[in-house]
């Protein structure tokens, strides 16, 4: 079984008995969790080959979600995506588009601007 599936199985079992973990756990964040575990293992082993007990690895997996590291990583990715959005004030609406469609596009752009500003203020 791959590492990610092993970690996923462990965390999902723990969620059955740990309400706080269950609240924080998101299977969509498992890739980040495994990256965190690998980073922690490199530090622990001082970048050398070695062996770590399963309990240590499972502790890091739980820590990733419970200590809010997954949420911080998610927030960081959202902010990076928002920064990639170009200046929306330069967007022009084609004159061939019906007026009701233009209005819908303006509403969407206004929402995106508001979200962008809210995330940057965050």
Q: Confidence class of residue 10 from pLDDT cuts 50, 70 and 90?
A: very high
Q: Cβ distance 52 to 41 under 8 Å? A: yes
Q: For all residues of the chain together, what is the average pLDDT?
A: 82
33-46 mean pLDDT: 92
Q: Is the pLDDT of residue 92 over 70?
A: no
Distance of CA 109 to the CA centre of its chain: 24
Higher pLDDT, 120 or 106: 106
């Amino acid at each position: 079984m791959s590492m990610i599936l092993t970690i996923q199985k462990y965390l999902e079992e723990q969620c059955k008995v740990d309400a706080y973990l269950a609240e924080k756990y998101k299977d969509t964040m498992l890739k980040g969790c495994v990256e965190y575990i690998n980073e922690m293992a490199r530090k622990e082993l001082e970048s050398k080959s070695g062996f770590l007990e399963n309990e240590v690895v499972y502790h890091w997996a739980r820590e990733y979600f419970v200590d809010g590291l997954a949420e911080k990583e998610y927030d960081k990715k959202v902010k990076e995506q928002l920064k990639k959005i170009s200046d929306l004030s330069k967007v022009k609406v084609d004159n061939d588009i019906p007026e009701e469609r233009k209005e819908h596009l303006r509403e969407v752009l206004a929402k995106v601007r508001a979200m962008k500003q809210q995330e940057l203020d965050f």
